[in-house]
Amino acid sequence: MTEKYPQDLRYTKTDEWVRVEGDTATLGITYYAQDALNDLVFFEAMAAKGEAVAVGDQLATVESVKAVGEVMSPVAGTVAEVNTALPDSPEHINQAPYGKGWMLKITLTGSIEDYGLMTAAEYEAYCAER
């Protein structure tokens, strides 16, 4: 069982997660989001390596048999890497949303504290309210 809200991550109200290591932010969708979407059958990155992104830019699209979801950027910077395994294996997002289901890595502009993201406890409380 995947830990639903890892303590070392930051979260958004639109259900993206961010893990910061140095000046790189790895991101994807949360356990809550993948659980709500159910079995994912499609992933498409909308941003490419080297592309500058701003907060709120659409980074990717995920699709299940019951819904389509947009993945929005919670941070600003430059796309450093896209998970090229996901188009062929979108189930990784369901199986390991915080592991092999990561979507993009972004070289940050500024500090993670600049983006007003939630802690694990704040995100868990937010999910419980919905």
What CATH number is associated with residue 124?
Answer: 2.40.50.100
Q: What 3-state DSSP class applies to 78? A: strand
Per the structure, the complete domain to which residue 90 belongs is given by 10-129
Instruction: Tell me what percent of the residues of the chain surpass a pLDDT of 90.
Output: 92
> Does the residue 80 lie in any domain?
yes
- 99 is a domain residue: yes
In-domain check, residue 2: no
Please tell me the predicted confidence (pLDDT) of residue 2: 54
For residue 1, pLDDT over 50 is answered with: no
Please report whether residue 67 resides in a domain.
yes
Output phi, psi for 12, to 5 deg.
Answer: -115, 165
Neighbouring residues of 89: CB distance < 8 A, sequence distance ≥ 6:
none
Overall domain count for the chain: 1
Q: Is residue 5 part of a domain?
A: no
13 confidence band (pLDDT: 50, 70, 90): very high
In whole angstroms, give the CA distance from residue 109 to residue 121.
25
Tokens, residue 54? 């701003």
